[in-house]
């Protein structure tokens, strides 16, 4: 018998209490592999963010520990991530020169504000807000950002602008890019062919960029290529960072909006990473635990010289594939990075910038999602348009405007949807007690009766539109020479009638009465009816008939033909 | 036979083409009465907005003409309004001293930006966005603003702060307030008792504040009360205004946000006025025409020395009750106001401030809506909470924050609603082919089958939540010792499945298959099915069965019991 249970995410160290020895091998190997990835990624994304390279390492130590304590995904890898790095860079570029000490302080402040925002949202249980960015919008936003990041990396890849390429830099940059691309495309298959198990072949091939980077580093230091124009990272301070926040109110004020937007983006990416992996692991993510985990991670990043962090989809996938069973894997990664920082860090200074650029390009190009574009184009053009809108917004207006545009597109779509409920004109299937949409089924109707089924709750967002629709239908009937005596609203799909809709119904009844039309209801659900009876609805609608079933109403109308018939 | 047709709003001068002589008397009398109201209201609201009194008259001439050309309501009175005046005052108070020449220029700029915003929204057909402020939120916002405005008028009413009341001002102010209150409460009944027709009695009683104001003005000028400390309006320039806009980019930037918010509020109030009267007149308002009418009105206000204008609920009601049949009534009002400005305006300077304050207080106190609060409190506590939230936001945080809070509350409620669709567990009503919610009806189920009816469209806002709900239900069944073989999703209420939901269903199917559970669908609607067949859905779900009816599915499950049964 298969296990039919979805495991609730545990969080809050429950994973440690229930730790089994069998988990250990997977956790250790995943921890080591993710640490190997985190070193170049941390350095590269710190540079994207316009920060000193070492901050990327700071951001990879305490934040994952905080997430391990409070987060709910077992395999999430929290730390530097490409798109949040781009957002940091964009925000800070208007406030201080890249790499300056002030930048460092401001980045920590962004993490602080984002962390507090996430914790507050967790406390207010606002996690459901994440559902208001659609998959195509999210994918458009990601693809647009990836294009922007890749574009920005062309200059470090080539050692200069297109008109002033440095030959050694360009060779080493383009060469590494080619190698990484080939590895990404063919290495896993090659390793499988020489007998390595698929899972390990996949994981090893993900480490190819690290291998290319190490090789390039060795070449640069061996041949002194840095003296021939190949830029390197330069001095990386070892040990722990200096901490401090700006006391300028102007800085806080300028950072508030972008950092709260950042909190939203952090949550979206982390959520999307956690959820795709939870599905593979038969787990369910607790949205509010996620908010706490990410909030705590960002607070700790802020007080340890880091910058805003989030769950990385690609790195979390590596963590999972390399065998991670619990957050212990992240704890091990963090420990390794702490050791790297405590040990002499001289070797890190040899990391060649063109190869770091190649690493970033390879990573972000994988985020460009033509598949979703093609699919939505075929399935739902409005989804495709939303995706192109979000991507275009990021590319043309910048990343913050892109997020806001994406949210606005999604919101407008939710509101439009909520404000345009489906309303079916019903008829009776001959010889039965079934009532169906007359535009889809052969159904019989009574000449002086309009029967409508409202396929939605009735609330402020659609009340006026529903009433207007009823009036339009009556106008149509009048213009067809049909005289209406009864309007029946079938309420089988209405679970809520709010105050605004209640008033709209009372108004509708008044207007119908002025036209000698009687309003009736059928199939009002129990909880809706209970509430209506508590209100003045029944007094306001003294002449309204309520039928338990639509068939009863139909029978009543058949028995009460108009005198003119 | 009664007329069962709702008249479509006409707009764009159609009313002029179809003008009937019978309309004329009503239009003329309404035009005169509204003009009488507009003079003190224009002056009073200009003062609330921190502007020279004469601007209130400027704002009452061209804007209603523009609305008469493009708007869709036949009886709307467009011009100065209390709450928009408060918003103008709040915005400008941070930029220039009240009554200064710069203030005048900035107010015109606000009208310009708001007008352009309204026109753009009309062109983009964004009128449906108005439906996302609920009735209780709107009422809370109005009530809170009314309290703030009334509070601000205490000082001019008494001639100074509570600690430095001027006796003559306080007497004349409180005396007029008392008279106006008595007139509002008893005058209409009194006039009816002496034989005046109800409609005219109502209209005349609405003019009581004007009568009180005129009397007070005569008293002040006759006894020289202005030299005893009673403030008067002072010199009102006659003729046409000077026009100009600020060239400072800073000013434009500072006004952009507040003016766009203003456009939204303008639209909301005008819409609410137009709609309540259209219902009485059997008309339907065209939302997009409204946007054009209001946009044009604000543009003309901007270029004629006015400030942002909107439809006033109370003044439009007077217009309607006084017999207005077409926008000609507004044209007549505008002409009278133009004559007042062209004629000597010396008499206007005697308008006493304490009585203007009393006029404003009487007008806004009528906006405080305890009835809706009480009603929502009884009917739907969350509506009552939203109302109190919006009112509290305006009072504690200011009017702009109040609007934003109201919108946020309404949006959160729409999103929450959209993301929490109703899902019913179905069973068969014994001996029938009807399937109903097992928690509401006696219905029979098969032990290894879970049948669910999704009472909502499936889209990005609820896809994850629906899938999570299915998984939770399966977990519950497992914990009750029930082993599930089939999950049937009854799609009778699903009109749309978007790209995000399509993916969620494919994922759900994969996860169910891993647990030896087969996913089935029934009653997929025609248009939904057409689109699914165009997608890769059917390839991704090769083992899924689609049933035309739930009864067929049930029969199939009965015929295919699990081997373990």
Q: Compute and round to an integer the Cα radius of gyration of chain B.
A: 30
* pLDDT tens-digit series, residues B458-468: 888 888 889 98
* pLDDT tens-digit series, residues B199-214: 888 888 888 889 999 9
| Alpha-carbon gap: A257 to the closest alpha carbon of chain B (Å) | 15
Is any Cβ of chain B less than 8 angstroms from the Cβ of A221? no
Residue of B nearest to A498 (CA): B380
Is any Cβ of chain B less than 8 angstroms from the Cβ of A495? yes
Task: Output the CA torsion B506→B507→B511→B513 (10° steps).
Answer: 20
- Note whether A468 contacts B284, CB cutoff 8 Å: yes
Res B255 pLDDT > 50:
yes
Res B104 pLDDT > 90:
no
pLDDT on residue A565: 42
Among the residue ranges A302-306, B379-383, B390-394, B548-552, the one predicted with the least confidence is B379-383
The partner residue sitting opposite A134, judged by closest CB among B3, B500, B515, is B500
pLDDT on residue B14: 76
In angstroms, rounded to a whole number, what is the distance separating the alpha carbons of residues A346 and A328? 29
The domain defined by A423-559 folds into: Transcription Regulator spoIIAA (3.30.750)
Res A367 pLDDT > 80:
yes
Given a contact cutoff of 8 angstroms between Cβ atoms, the answer to whether B474 and B450 are in contact is yes
In degrees and rounded to multiples of 5, residue A244 shows phi and psi of: 180, 150
Given a contact cutoff of 8 angstroms between Cβ atoms, the answer to whether B314 and B83 are in contact is no
HSE-CB for B438 with a 13 A CA cutoff: 12
* pLDDT tens-digit series, residues A416-459: 777 788 898 999 988 888 888 898 888 999 999 999 999 888 88
The partner residue sitting opposite B2, judged by closest CB among A495, A516, A535, is A516
pLDDT on residue A289: 87
Between CA A543 and CA A546, with CA A544 as vertex, the angle to 5 degrees is 140
pLDDT confidence tier of residue B8, bands split at 50, 70 and 90: low
The residues in B 355-374 lying below 8 A from A, measured between CB atoms, are 372
Average pLDDT for chain B: 87
The partner residue sitting opposite B4, judged by closest CB among A4, A416, A517, is A517
The residues in B 472-491 lying below 8 A from A, measured between CB atoms, are 472, 474-475, 477-479, 483-484
In angstroms, rounded to a whole number, what is the distance separating the alpha carbons of residues B115 and B118? 5
| Alpha-carbon gap: A4 to the closest alpha carbon of chain B (Å) | 5
* pLDDT tens-digit series, residues A103-142: 888 999 999 999 999 999 999 888 877 776 788 888 999 9
Q: Are strands A435-437 and A310-311 parallel, antiparallel or unpaired?
A: unpaired
pLDDT on residue A533: 83
In degrees and rounded to multiples of 5, residue B5 shows phi and psi of: -105, 135
The residues in B 274-313 lying below 8 A from A, measured between CB atoms, are 275, 279, 282, 284
Is any Cβ of chain B less than 8 angstroms from the Cβ of A411? yes
- Note whether A4 contacts B372, CB cutoff 8 Å: no
In angstroms, rounded to a whole number, what is the distance separating the alpha carbons of residues A457 and A493? 7
**Residue A269 CA to its chain's centroid (Å):** 5
Res A244 pLDDT > 80:
no
Average pLDDT over residues B285-297: 89
pLDDT confidence tier of residue B1, bands split at 50, 70 and 90: very low
Average pLDDT for chain A: 87
CB contacts, 8 Å: B6 with chain A: 471-472, 474-475
Is any Cβ of chain A less than 8 angstroms from the Cβ of B549? no
Q: pLDDT over 70 for what percent of chain B?
A: 95
Give the orientation angle of helix A135-158 with respect to helix A167-182, to 10 degrees: 140
| Top-ranked range on mean pLDDT: pick from A11-20, A334-343, A539-548 | A334-343
**Residue A247 CA to its chain's centroid (Å):** 33
**The token pair that represents B213 in the structure block:** 């104001």
pLDDT confidence tier of residue A240, bands split at 50, 70 and 90: low
Is any Cβ of chain B less than 8 angstroms from the Cβ of A438? no
Residue of B nearest to A493 (CA): B455
In angstroms, rounded to a whole number, what is the distance separating the alpha carbons of residues B31 and A196? 90
Res B10 pLDDT > 60:
no
| Alpha-carbon gap: A181 to the closest alpha carbon of chain B (Å) | 29
In degrees and rounded to multiples of 5, residue B83 shows phi and psi of: -75, -40
Query: Comparing C-alpha atoms, which of A427, A454, A557, A516 is closest to residue B5?
Result: A516
Task: Locate the domains of chain A by residue range.
Answer: 7-231+238-415, 423-559
| Alpha-carbon gap: B144 to the closest alpha carbon of chain A (Å) | 19
Average pLDDT over residues B32-43: 91
The partner residue sitting opposite B531, judged by closest CB among A4, A379, A459, is A379
pLDDT confidence tier of residue A1, bands split at 50, 70 and 90: very low
Res A285 pLDDT > 80:
no
* pLDDT tens-digit series, residues B427-437: 998 888 888 88
* pLDDT tens-digit series, residues B166-186: 888 999 999 999 999 999 899
Is any Cβ of chain A less than 8 angstroms from the Cβ of B536? yes
The partner residue sitting opposite A5, judged by closest CB among B275, B464, B478, is B478
In degrees and rounded to multiples of 5, residue A158 shows phi and psi of: -95, -5
**The token pair that represents B479 in the structure block:** 């914990």
Average pLDDT over residues A72-101: 89
- Note whether A498 contacts B134, CB cutoff 8 Å: yes
Residue A378, burial from CB neighbour count under 10 angstroms (0-12, 13-18, 19+): middle
- Note whether B493 contacts A417, CB cutoff 8 Å: no
Average pLDDT over residues B394-411: 85
CB contacts, 8 Å: A383 with chain B: 498-500
* pLDDT tens-digit series, residues A378-424: 888 888 888 999 999 999 988 888 888 888 888 777 777 777 888 98
CB contacts, 8 Å: A139 with chain B: none
* pLDDT tens-digit series, residues B512-553: 988 889 999 998 887 788 888 877 777 777 777 889 889 999
pLDDT confidence tier of residue A302, bands split at 50, 70 and 90: very high
The partner residue sitting opposite A471, judged by closest CB among B275, B284, B474, is B284
**The token pair that represents A477 in the structure block:** 């009937």
pLDDT on residue A243: 66
Is any Cβ of chain A less than 8 angstroms from the Cβ of B461? yes
pLDDT on residue A246: 66
Average pLDDT over residues A170-194: 93
**To which residue do tokens 């009695």 refer?**
B201
Res A2 pLDDT > 60:
no
Task: Output the CA torsion B213→B215→B221→B225 (10° steps).
Answer: -80
* pLDDT tens-digit series, residues A489-527: 999 878 888 888 888 898 888 888 888 899 999 988 877
In angstroms, rounded to a whole number, what is the distance separating the alpha carbons of residues B173 and B169? 6
Interface confidence (ipTM) of the complex? 0.75
Res A12 pLDDT > 70:
no
Average pLDDT over residues B467-496: 90
């Amino acid at each position: 018998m298969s296990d039919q249970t979805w495991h609730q995410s545990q969080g809050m160290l429950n994973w440690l209490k229930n730790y089994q020895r069998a988990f250990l091998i997977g956790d250790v190997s995943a921890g080591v592999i993710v640490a190997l990835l985190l070193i170049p990624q941390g350095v590269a994304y710190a540079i994207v963010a316009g920060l000193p390279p070492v901050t990327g390492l700071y951001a990879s130590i305490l934040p994952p520990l905080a997430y391990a304590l409070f987060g709910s995904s077992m395999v999430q890898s929290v730390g530097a991530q490409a798109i949040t790095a781009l957002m940091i860079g964009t925000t800070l570029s208007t406030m201080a020169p890249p790499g300056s000490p002030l930048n460092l302080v401001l980045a920590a402040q962004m993490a602080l504000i984002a962390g507090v925002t996430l914790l507050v949202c967790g406390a207010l249980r606002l996690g459901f807000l994440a559902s208001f960015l659609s998959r195509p919008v999210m994918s458009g936003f990601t693809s647009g950002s990836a294009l922007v990041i890749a574009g920005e990396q062309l200059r470090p890849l080539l050692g200069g602008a297109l008109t002033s390429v440095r030959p050694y830099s360009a060779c080493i940059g383009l060469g590494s890019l080619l190698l990484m691309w080939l590895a990404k495309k063919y290495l896993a298959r090659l390793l499988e062919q020489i007998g390595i198990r698929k899972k390990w072949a996949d994981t090893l091939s993900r480490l190819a960029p690290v291998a290319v980077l190490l090789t390039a580093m060795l070449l640069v230091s061996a041949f002194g290529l840095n003296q021939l124009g190949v830029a390197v990272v330069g001095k990386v301070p070892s040990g722990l960072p200096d901490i401090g926040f700006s006391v300028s109110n102007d800085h806080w004020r300028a950072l508030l909006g972008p950092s709260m937007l950042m909190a939203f983006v952090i949550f979206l990416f982390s959520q999307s990473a956690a959820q795709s992996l939870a599905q593979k692991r038969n787990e369910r993510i607790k949205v509010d635990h996620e908010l706490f985990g990410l909030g705590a991670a960002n607070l700790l990043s802020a007080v340890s010289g880091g910058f805003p962090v989030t769950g990385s989809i690609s790195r979390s996938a590596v963590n999972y594939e390399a065998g991670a069973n619990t957050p212990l894997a992240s704890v091990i990664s963090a420990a390794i990075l702490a050791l790297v920082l405590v040990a002499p860090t001289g070797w890190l200074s040899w990391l060649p910038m063109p190869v770091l650029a190649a690493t970033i390009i390879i990573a972000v190009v994988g985020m460009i999602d033509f598949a979703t574009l093609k699919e939505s184009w075929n399935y739902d053009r409005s989804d495709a348009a939303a995706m192109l809108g979000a991507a275009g917004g990021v590319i043309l207006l910048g990343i913050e405007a892109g997020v806001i545009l994406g949210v606005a597109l999604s919101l407008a779509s939710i509101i439009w949807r909520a404000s345009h409920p489906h309303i079916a004109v019903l008829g009776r299937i001959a010889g039965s007690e079934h009532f169906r949409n007359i535009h889809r089924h052969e159904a019989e109707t009574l000449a002086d009766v309009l029967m409508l089924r409202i396929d939605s709750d009735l609330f402020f967002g659609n009340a006026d539109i529903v009433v207007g629709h009823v009036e339009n239908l009556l106008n149509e009937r009048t213009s067809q020479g049909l005289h209406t005596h009864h309007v029946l609203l079938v309420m089988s799909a209405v679970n809520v009638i709010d105050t605004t809709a209640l008033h709209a119904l009372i108004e509708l009844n008044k207007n119908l009465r002025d036209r000698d039309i009687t309003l009736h209801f059928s199939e009002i659900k129990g909880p809706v009816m209970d509430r209506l009876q508590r209100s003045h609805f029944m007094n306001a609608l003294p002449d309204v008939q309520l039928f338990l079933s639509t068939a009863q109403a139909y029978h009543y109308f058949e028995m009460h033909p108009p005198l003119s018939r």
